[in-house]
Amino acid sequence: MDERLVMSLDELARREEHPLYPFVGAWNPRLLQVAGSHFEYVSPFRTEILEKLRHEWIEISNYERASYFSGLISLQKELNYPLRVFTLNYDLCVEKAYHAEYQEFPERGFDKTNRHWSHELLEDADPGEKNFYLYKLHGSIDWMRDPENGKLTFSDSTSKIKVDDGQIIFGLTYKLQYVDPFLFLVYQLRRLSLEAKLILVVGYGFADEHINGILRQALRGSPDKRLIAVTWSGDLREGEGEQRAEKFKSLISKQLDLPDIDPRVIVQMSPAKRFLGEELSLAAVSKYFPQGESLFEEVKQQAEPTYRSRRL
């Protein structure tokens, strides 16, 4: 609802620049009363809404409450291979969990010397160089543009970033930006989801058509691929969990244009806190693959008995 409102205000603020403007005979009189005859109140109203969203909704005052994200770090250690995490969230939960373990942020694409973003840092590297890649598809509360050169960078003090300077995508229409880093991040999701044997989704409602399109393409023509969707709908009475899981699985099938009964889609009813903090493990995700089928692609380099490529 918040994103729809921001999107509507963005559209109104364009006024004469909007492609539909020549076809609009007259604005609703009530709209002109609240927005101003020249829509001069739209932009300040949008800024006020974004201020509240940023500081009262997105910002987290105590990241200790999100320490369960350390389950991702534990999974990476168990895999002993780089883990790639894509998120639609703007907060720093994953970064804080990683920092608690390694005293630095995971690889997000920022040069450690000048703090400028570079897509090259998120490309494939030798497995021993990096152990965790984080792709923030809709931006992050600590992202901003360098005022001197316009390059993407980040700030340690998120509260000092002005709304108009922040790099966060609000609004359904603008989730696919034609500029980096957003275009590159979406491309990486598409590329890696096509290569992956397992796509693990936590807390996603399958309402974003851009993301759904990528997942749909990844599952089509890949009978060995698995999609595990972790969701929760509050306290469940005895016997309700299976019904809710089937209902959610039907929703996923509809949104991704899959058969109603698709064995590749698995729904697990569990709160994110419990799943990430207690249940996530290599054994937990491997059990959904046929016995004897490896979760990884084993690619040997010449005669060396080591993995060169080992991807989820």
* Contact by Cβ (8 Å): 118, 109: yes
Q: Which strand (E) or helix (H) includes residue 188?
A: helix 182-195
pLDDT band at 306 (very low <50, low <70, confident <90, very high): very low
Residue 293 pLDDT > 50:
yes
Q: Which strand (E) or helix (H) includes residue 7?
A: helix 2-14
Q: Report the pLDDT averaged over residues 12-28.
A: 59
Write down the pLDDT at residue 300.
34
Write down the pLDDT at residue 173.
46
SS (H, E, C) 37-54: CCCCCHHHHHHHHHHHHH
Phi, psi (rounded to 5 degrees) for 208: -100, 110
Q: Which strand (E) or helix (H) includes residue 229?
A: strand 226-231
* Contact by Cβ (8 Å): 132, 98: yes
The tokens of 310 are what? 């080992």
CA distances from 198 to 159, 206, 224, 294, 312 (A): 37, 17, 9, 11, 5
pTM above 0.85, yes or no: no
Write the DSSP symbol of residue 105. Answer: -
pLDDT band at 177 (very low <50, low <70, confident <90, very high): low
Q: Report the pLDDT averaged over residues 247-276.
A: 93
Q: Report the pLDDT averaged over residues 46-74.
A: 83
CA distances from 29 to 35, 39, 142, 181 (A): 10, 12, 40, 40
Write down the pLDDT at residue 267.
95
Q: Report the pLDDT averaged over residues 162-167.
A: 80
Query: How does the average pLDDT of the chain come out, rounded?
Result: 81
CA gap 264, 227 in Å, rounded: 6
Q: Which residues pair with 140 in a beta bridge?
A: none
Write down the pLDDT at residue 48.
72
CA gap 311, 158 in Å, rounded: 34
Q: Which strand (E) or helix (H) includes residue 198?
A: strand 198-202
